[in-house]
Structure 1
Amino acid sequence: MESFPGAQEDPFHGISLFSDPVHGYIRFVSSPAEKKASSEAELIDSPWLQRLRSIFQLQSARLVFPSAEHSRFVHSLGAMHIAGRFALHLYPSFSRSYPGTLSPALFEELLRVSALLHDIGHGPFCHFFDEHVLFPKFGLSHERMGQILIRGPLREIIERVDRSPSGVFEPGERLSADWVAYLIGKGSGPNPVPQDMPQLAALKPLFSGLFTVDNLDYVLRDSYMCGVAIGPVDLERLLYYTHVREGKLALHRSGLGAFEVFVTARAFMYRQIYFHRTTRMFDMSLRDLLGETMDVWGLGNPGENLASYLELTDQSLLETVRRWADSSDKRKVALGEGWRRFLDRKKEWRLVFEKEDVQTTVYGSPEKIGQDLETILGIHGEESPFRVDVAYRDNRPENPWKMGDRQIWIYEPLTGSLVSDPLAEMLERLPVRQLAVRVFAKPDHKDFGAIETVRQFFSRET
């Protein structure tokens, strides 16, 4: 096991192990150094972390890949483990850039707790809930909900933590919940660097960059649990060549190959799992159900109703809506029957057209492609016999040359300087943009003349 030299006399005191199919053994702090302090175990056993056991890691893909029954809880433990490994490796270079800022133990625990809590704000069906409920109804995201929880009910536990797996904090040191909330923040909303710890900006790419403690775990875990082979992800080489230099997170040029393989593997995951045609078909059924279900549920603003949100999980939602089909309320009956069909894998749509690797330079943006096809198919409202699905993901930043707080610098040993060009050039050449266009029809619909028109639309010369 990795640890800081001379961290403590008894390396087993207060440390326990989880068995994990992806990482082997995951260390965690099971008891604090002082009786009045808290530990990782207290966070893990808190109602908010335990809630993640009841939220599936994958929303509709679990209906396609039978073994994909893993939860956000185990993913959070895996992310914590990877964050701990990065902490042990990064601390020497971080302390050279920022001497005397954080002790080794506090540095390690900051990264571990931030990773452990990065998904704490998720609702049922995870990102789908963000897109169809949290943001459109309340202007929230799961990251914003996570920050509310970290600065609210979890603050007291976080700020009583007094050690990491490798050692005890220095006298007077305290882990700030505001530091943790900053690191997990994403999106376009305000998320300023804490004034009392501006050095945290150097660590932000580990949580919202191109390779993060989050996506390094979910690529490995989702592929394993789905039974999808993605090829090697060289975590060891990425870890070895990542360091802090001149106060910035950097990757030695010799680590670029491992990074390229990882970005390619992640793109492959989207093609094979997240954008799988049957996964997307079930996503369409879920879209028809989830928003209206939450209206009937009477969901208030989760940020202002934490007690209700604590009880809202995949399992609680699904067990409730199963019973709605037997309700006296007609709206609940219709939704309940829809949920029963969804859970029984009844296919409301069938695939009638599919084109992958669509070129935006020829056909326009994903939004324009969707609008053009809806016009061709005469889709007006939800009653149309056709549905257009445009699945799009670019695993690169919008501007590889300027990535803001996601920037990872490349250390060029020939010149001894930090540069951005090699990473940007590599990202520019990689074929990692995913754009799949599919048309689904109601099972009994027979108008294939419209589909022929769609084929003609995609027969343009490049």
Structure 2
Amino acid sequence: MHYAEQKLKEEKVFKDPVHRYVHVRDQVIWDLIGTKEFQRLRRIKQLGTSFLTFHGAEHSRFNHSLGVYEIIRRIVDDVFVDRPKWNKEDRLLSLCAGLLHDLGHGPFSHSFEKVFALDHEYFTQAIILGNTEVNTVLSRVEPNFPKRVAEVIGKTSENKIVISLISSQIDSDRMDYLQRDAYFTGVSYGHFDMERILRVMRPHEDQVVIKKTGMHAVEDYIMSRYQMYWQVYFHPVTRSAEVILTKILHRAKELYHDQYIFQQEPTHFTSIFEDTLTLEDYLKLDESIILYYFQMWQDEEDDILSDLCKRFVNRNLFKYVEFDPAKEYKKLAELSTLFIKAGLDPEYYLVVDSSSDLPYDFYRPGEEEERLPIQLLMGNGEIRELSRESEIVDAISGKRRTDHKLYYPEDLLIDDTTKKNIKKQIRTLLEL
């Protein structure tokens, strides 16, 4: 039997708190899960610094990737079977792309990417196409199979239906992480009727559509996503931890380029700092490595690096106030001057952080991030864009919400014998 069609002698299952069980019968999927590149995802948290806000948020990219695979498995094995416009030959491609879609995430994911201008999707494709165990497994299916999987994840594939299963405004990725993140953070916002949504999904032309009878379940899903972003993903305490994490990495890079002599040399960062990062170097990075450096850097002679690492490790985070950079730029300039006089570098201790989300959008061709709208399949076979049928979705469609906060170390602004008047002026400006 060809490798692509090989089944395990006995079905393997992973006990899962969200989907109850993750079922694996395909030899290819089982072999991919066993690769060292996929196992690395156990050492990368799904929610970055959120564990410092929600103590249960310790789940990993590994958990999530299995969940996405399971949702797609249920769609292609149960919902799409024998449906017109679904090519059963795309089954394994869909399963592999879903399983591997987050393979290139680095430690603390998006914060890490921003500091060093990295892109997890680039590394996901590099792992799939490179000299890796994952590539070896995929190549056994057929020599061109790794490229086909990478193109789906990179959204350059001609197979638009498979892309929409993994990356669209209602996809297996979002349906898993909303429920999984809600479960592990302990909040109630991320729950919606996924069973209903799966039952009414249909393959159609170049994307997956939803039967009109499932519209209310989709409305619930979109509102769940909206609430999760503002109550969990953009939680100001989590953002404070991200600000400190980002500043630690910036400081370490700055010190490295200034020829500072580290007590704990940043060996794992050297190729990043020198812009010579290889895939092999990247795969050695996980959160246990990063946290080791933070732990050791608490004892560095550089006061800023030492202080920031102590704050992150011991959860002594920055406080925050609401802030509008467009209207309060003069106040920010005044605060920066006062921080310098108080002996605090505003580059590291006075930080404006912005959060922004667009909960749902209709199609806007030519924009930097083109969002395929959710399409409803009407009873007469007509296709209608969701916001044209749903008053709830229409009310939030295309409306971006943005939030700005100013972060600072309140404990360093307490009145004391040194710089007392200056710190008092700062506290007055911050309205503390």
Partner of 1:341: 311
Q: What is the count of residue pairs matched by the alignment? A: 386
1:60–1:282 CA contact under 8 A, matched in 2: yes
How far has the Cα of 1:205 moved from its partner? 1.9
When normalised by structure 1's length, the TM-score is 0.75
When normalised by structure 2's length, the TM-score is 0.80
Matched, 1:26 2:7: no
Task: Give distance in 2, aligned partners of 1:299 and 1:72.
Answer: 24
Partner of 1:114: 97
Within a 5 Å distance, the mapping from 1:212-251 to structure 2 comes to 212-230=171-189, 232-251=191-210
1:400–1:427 CA contact under 8 A, matched in 2: no
Partner of 1:145: 123
Partner of 2:342: none
Identity, % of aligned pairs? 27
Secondary structure, counterpart of 2:377 in structure 1: strand
Task: Give distance in 2, aligned partners of 1:401 and 1:325.
Answer: 48
2:79–2:199 CA contact under 8 A, matched in 1: no
How far has the Cα of 1:246 moved from its partner? 3.8
Q: Which of residues 114, 122, 128 is equivalent to 2:111?
A: 128
Distance 1:303 1:75, change over 3 A: farther
More deviation, 297-306/287-296:
297-306
The one-letter amino acid paired with 1:141 is D
Within a 5 Å distance, the mapping from 1:248-259 to structure 2 comes to 248-259=207-218
RMSD between aligned residues: 3.1
- Structure 1 gaps of 5+ residues are 1-7, 33-38, 162-172, 186-190, 356-368, 455-462
The C-alpha deviation readout for 1:373-425, integer Å capped at 9, x for no partner, is 3333325595276433332211223x446585734322121x42112263686
Higher helix share: 2
- Structure 2 gaps of 5+ residues are 257-268, 338-344, 414-422
Partner of 1:416: 381
Partner of 1:298: 270
Within a 5 Å distance, the mapping from 1:45-444 to structure 2 comes to 45-92=34-81, 96-97=84-85, 101-103=87-89, 107-133=90-116, 135=117, 140-152=118-130, 153=132, 154-161=134-141, 176-185=145-154, 192-193=156-157, 198=158, 200-230=159-189, 232-293=191-252, 296=256, 297-300=269-272, 305-326=278-299, 330-331=301-302, 334-347=304-317, 349-351=318-320, 353-354=321-322, 369-378=324-333, 380=336, 383=346, 386-397=350-361, 399-400=362-363, 406-413=372-379, 415-420=380-385, 422=388, 426-430=392-396, 433-443=400-410, 444=413
The C-alpha deviation readout for 1:270-324, integer Å capped at 9, x for no partner, is 2221111211221221121123435642133889512211111111111133223
Q: Which of residues 13, 19, 25 is equivalent to 1:17?
A: 13
Task: Give distance in 1, aligned partners of 2:33 and 2:7.
Answer: 21
Partner of 2:265: none
1:204–1:406 CA contact under 8 A, matched in 2: no
Task: Give distance in 2, aligned partners of 1:346 and 1:261.
Answer: 37
1:76–1:116 CA contact under 8 A, matched in 2: yes
